[in-house]
Structure 1
C-alpha cells in the first residue's frame, strides 16, 4: 500500500553539524563548537514551535536563523564578542551547504528502485532546499518546504496539505525523520513513521519513548528500504 516516502531533511538526511562547526569562530575549542551548534540548533526548533503556537506566519529560513542567533548570543555573553557581522553571515550561509550522511544516497536510490516516490518535506525555505540537494548530490521527486506550504510541521494542516497535493491517502505514506515532534504529527495524520536516530538531533528526547512511539526505529538508513517494504 505504501506509495510515498516523505523525508525530513536537515539532521535526517544531512549532517548539518559539521557545516556549522566549521563556520564557528576558530578560537572556540572543538567541544565548545559542538555544544554551541547543538544548542543553537535546538533554539531554532524552539523558535519555530513558538511561532506555530502563536499562529504566526512562516518566516524565511535565513531571517529565522538571524533572529535565533542574535537571541542565543544575548544569552551567551561570554562568546558574543566573537561573532562579528561577517562571522554571523558566514554561519547563516553554512546552513545552505551540508553533506548527506554516508548511507543516504544509496538508501534513497533503493527506495526509487522499488517504485516508491520520495520527497523532501521539511520546515525551511525552497531556496534552502534547492541549495542543499545540489550541494549534497541528492535527487528527490519534489521538495516541499514550510515556505511553499505556508505552514510549519507539525501543524495538522501541513501534513494534510502535502497529501492533498500528492493525491495520496495517509495509509499510503511513510514519514522518515530524526525528529520525534515531526513523526508525532505524521502519526496523528495517519501516516506510518520511521525514526532515524542521529546524535545531532532530539537532544531533549527520551529515546526509549521515541522507539516505542514509531513503527520503526533505525540507527541509520541502510536498512530503510526493507523496513518500508515491511510496512
Structure 2
C-alpha cells in the first residue's frame, strides 16, 4: 500500500503504461521488410534503427530522415511521410497489458489517476483506445501535449495540470520513464517523482524520489517513501 499522504498519481504513457518500444520494433520491422530487408540484414537493420530511435527520445523527423536515407528504397518518399507512417502504425501496434489494467483498476479506487503524455492528439488517443486504458482516466484528467500550449519538459506543462485539477503538489507523484521530461520537469514543480527505469542506469544528475524497474512494482513505494 502507498503512503497515506499521496492521493494523486500522474502517469506518463509511452514506455510507462504501454510498451511503446515493442510496438515501434514491430512497426520498423514491417517497414524494413517493405524496403526489401530480409534475414540477417533485416535483424541488423532493425537493431540499428531501434538504437537510433533511442526509446522515442530522438527527434521524430530527424530519425525518419535518417532511416529513409539509410534503408529506404523509394526516392519519391519523404521523411515527413515516413514519420507519419511510423506514428500511425505504432499507435496501431501497441498492445493491451492485462497486468497494467489490473493495476490501474486497483489504484483508481484510492487515487485520482491523471495521464500526462507528449505527442500528437490523434496518435496518443489512439494508443489509449487500442490498449484499453482510456477507461481508467476521467476525460478532464487526460493531458496530451498536442492539445496544449506546452509539452514536457517545460515546467508550465505540469503547472497547468496542477492548476486545472487543483492538485496539492505535496500529495502528488509523477510516474514516468524519461528522466528529463517526466522526472526533472516534475521535480522542478515540487512534485514527487517515480522513475520507471526498465533496468537502465541513471546517467544524469536528476534524482527521482524513488525508482522502480517496471510499472507493476508500484507496491515498492510504501517502503521507499516512508
Q: Is the pair's TM-score, using the shorter chain for normalization, greater than 0.5?
A: yes
Could you say what secondary structure the match of 1:11 adopts? Answer: coil
Distance 1:83 1:3 in 2: 54
Cα pair distance change 1:100/1:191, threshold 3 Å: farther
**Number of aligned pairs?**
203
Residue 94 (structure 1) aligned with residue 86 (structure 2) = no
Q: How does 1:22-171 map to 2 (within 5 A)?
A: 22-24=26-28, 25-26=32-33, 27=37, 28-41=41-54, 45-47=57-59, 65=60, 67-73=61-67, 77-81=69-73, 85=77, 88=82, 90-97=85-92, 98-100=94-96, 103-113=99-109, 115-138=110-133, 139-141=136-138, 142-171=141-170
TM-score by length of 1: 0.75
* Higher Rg of the two aligned structures: 2
Cα-Cα RMSD? 2.9
TM-score by length of 2: 0.76
5+ residue gaps in structure 2? Answer: none
5+ residue gaps in structure 1? Answer: 48-64
Residue 217 (structure 1) aligned with residue 211 (structure 2) = yes
Cα deviation, residue 99, structure 1? 1.9
Match of 2:188 in 1: 188
Could you say what secondary structure the match of 1:223 adopts? Answer: helix
